[in-house]
C-alpha cells in the first residue's frame, strides 16, 4: 500500500499529477477503502467464524485432545489476524516475518498438519460466505501464503501480484 502511494508522491515532487497518475491514485484509494472494509468485517465477525469452525472441528476430530483442537484454532485465529493486517498493508512480508516463520515449525513439530489443514479449509469456507467476492479475493493470497508456508501446500501467486491484478469494478 505505502509503496504505491510513495511512488505517486515521488513522481509528483516537481509537477502536479497527470491525469493517468490521478486515476492510479483514485484506484489505490478505492482499493484501500475495500481493504479497510474487509478488515472491519473480519474483526467484527471473528468470533462467529471461529465458533462455526470449532463446532465442525470437534465433530470431525472427536478423538483428538481438546488442547490440540484449541491450539489449531489459536494458530488460525492468529493467521487470520495477521493476514488481515498484511492484506490491509498489502504487505506479504508482514505475515511471513511476524507469524508464519515461527508457526511453521510449531505445526510440524506437533504433527498437527491434518487438523491444521482442515481448519484452513473450514476457514476459507466460512470466509467465502462472510465476504463479498472482491473482499475474499483481497485476503485469499495471504491465506494461500499461510497454507504454503505452514502446511507445505502448492504455491499460489504472490499477494502483491494478485492485488495489482485486482480492479474495482473494471
Instruction: Write down all domains in the chain, each with its CATH number in brackets.
Output: 2-165 (1.10.490.20)
pLDDT tens, 86-108? 999 989 898 888 776 777 666 66
What is the band of 54 on the pLDDT scale with cuts at 50, 70, 90? very high
What is the band of 162 on the pLDDT scale with cuts at 50, 70, 90? very low
CA–centroid distance for 90 within its chain = 10
What does pTM read for this prediction? 0.81
Per-residue pLDDT at 167 exceeds 70:
no
What are the helix (H) ranges across 61-100? 66-89, 92-95
Instruction: Report which of residues 103 and 80 the model is more confident about.
Output: 80
Amino acid at each position: 500500500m505505502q509503496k504505491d502511494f510513495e511512488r505517486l508522491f515521488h513522481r509528483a515532487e516537481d509537477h502536479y499529477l497527470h491525469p493517468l497518475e490521478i486515476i492510479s491514485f483514485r484506484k489505490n484509494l478505492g482499493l484501500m477503502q475495500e481493504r479497510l472494509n474487509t478488515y472491519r468485517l473480519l474483526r467484527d465477525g471473528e468470533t462467529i467464524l471461529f465458533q462455526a469452525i470449532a463446532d465442525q472441528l470437534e465433530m470431525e476430530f472427536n478423538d483428538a485432545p481438546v488442547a490440540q483442537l484449541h491450539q489449531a484454532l489459536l494458530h488460525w485465529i492468529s493467521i487470520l489476524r495477521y493476514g488481515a493486517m498484511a492484506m490491509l498493508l498489502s504487505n506479504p512480508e508482514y505475515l511471513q516475518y511476524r507469524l508464519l516463520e515461527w508457526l511453521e515449525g510449531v505445526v510440524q513439530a506437533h504433527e498437527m498438519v491434518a487438523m491444521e489443514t482442515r481448519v484452513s479449509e473450514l476457514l476459507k469456507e466460512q470466509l467465502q460466505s462472510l465476504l463479498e467476492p472482491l473482499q475474499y479475493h483481497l485476503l485469499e493470497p495471504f491465506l494461500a501464503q499461510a497454507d504454503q508456508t505452514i502446511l507445505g501446500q502448492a504455491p499460489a501467486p504472490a499477494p502483491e501480484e494478485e492485488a495489482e491484478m485486482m480492479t474495482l469494478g473494471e
